[in-house]
Structure 1
C-alpha cells in the first residue's frame, strides 16, 4: 500500500457476530463484578462504543441473560465429553473427564454466585444423555470397573462437583490428579485380602 492509499475499513460485524463478541467480553467481567458490571466496562473490554451494546442487545440485562444462557447451554460441554477418546488408558480418560467437569462446574458456580442466582437443575433427559456419553467413553474398560457406567458417571460427576465448589470442599483445593486418584483408588486402594480380625 502506498503512502497515499487509505487503509480499508474493518469489515462490519453481523448482529450475531457482534452479540457473540459481547457475550465473550462480558463473561469474565460478570465473574469478577457480577451484576455491578457497567456498560462502560463492557464496552472498554470489547473495544467498542458503549451504544453498540444497546444496539446489539437492547439492555445490559439482556446481554447478561444471553451470557448466562451460553454458559448454561449443555451442548458444547456434551460435545467436549463426546470428544474424549474411548481408546485412551482408563486413568487418562477419567482425568480428562474430571478436568472437563470440574472446569464446567467451577465456571457455572462462580458465575451464578457472582450474579446471586442459581441455574435450573439438569433435567432427567440431560442426566440420561450424560450417562450415555460416559458409558460410551468408559465402554472399553467395563471389565475393570466395579460399578456400572451409570454409577461411574454419577461418582465422577458428584466428586468433580464437590471439588469445584469451595464451600462444599471446605478445605484445600484438589487438582485433577488428586480427584482422579480418589475416583479410581479411593483412600486405601483396592483391597488385596480380607481385613484382619
Structure 2
C-alpha cells in the first residue's frame, strides 16, 4: 500500500471519530479504527495537526459525489436528477459541517499555509476548488435538459448550492431537521411565490 493510499485509509477511519469527539480523539483510537499500529499513523503523517488538516480536506472532497451526479442518465427527468444530485451534496455538506463543528468546539485551528499547498491552483484554497467543482457539475446538469434557464447555468448552480448549504446551516443551528431536498429543488425551480397571486396577495 502506497503512502497516499495509507493516508486515505487512515482519514476514512478517522472522520467518524473526529465528528464525534473532535480533537479529543487520540491517534491510538484512530489507529485501532483503521486496523493498524499507532506508529503507522506517524509514518505517513508528520504530526496530529497534519492528520487533522488532511481529514478536513478529505471531508470536503467532492469526487465521489461528482461521480454520482455524472452517472445520472439524461433520460431521467431534470427534477429527479436534481433531487438526487442535491441530496448527495446536502449529505456531504452535513457530514463536513458536523466535522467542523466538533473540531472547532475542541480547539482545532487549521494550518492554512499547509492547506493552501495542497491546492492545485496557486492562491486557490482547496475547499474553494471543491465548491467550484460542485458548481460546475450542477451547471452541467442544469444545462443538459430542454428547460430554458433565466440566468447562466453556472450562476443558477451557485444559487442552488447556496440554498442547499444555508438549509444545512440553519438546521445545525436550530437543532431541527434539514429541509427536504425535493422542497429545496421545487423552491429553486419555481420560486417561493405562487403564480396565481399578485403583489397584494390576492388571487388573480
Tell me which interval the TM-score lies in, with the shorter structure as reference length: 0.7 to 0.9
Q: Report which stretch shifted further, 97-106 or 112-121.
A: 112-121
Distance 1:43 1:196, change over 3 A: closer
Give the Cα separation in 2 of the matches to 1:79 and 1:138. Answer: 16
Give the Cα separation in 2 of the matches to 1:102 and 1:142. Answer: 25
One of 121, 128, 151 as aligned partner of 1:122: 128
Unaligned regions of 5+ residues in structure 1, if any? Answer: 1-12
Q: CA RMSD in A?
A: 3.1
Q: How does 1:88-99 map onto structure 2 within 5 Å?
A: 88-99=76-87
Aligned to 1:186: 191
Aligned to 1:150: 154
Distance 1:134 1:177, change over 3 A: closer
Q: Report which stretch shifted further, 99-108 or 113-122.
A: 113-122
Aligned to 1:137: 141
1:51 Cα shift?
A: 1.8
One of 162, 166, 191 as aligned partner of 1:162: 166
1:32 Cα shift?
A: 0.8
C-alpha deviations, 1:132-191, integer Å up to 9, x for none?
Answer: 4333212243535444423421221111101111356775431222222322333454x1
TM-score normalised over the length of structure 1: 0.74
Q: Any runs of at least 4 consecutive aligned residues in structure 1 with deviations exceeding 6 A, and if so which?
A: none
Residue-pair matches, total: 182
C-alpha deviations, 1:98-148, integer Å up to 9, x for none?
Answer: 11221222122222222225785626x963x54443332122435354444
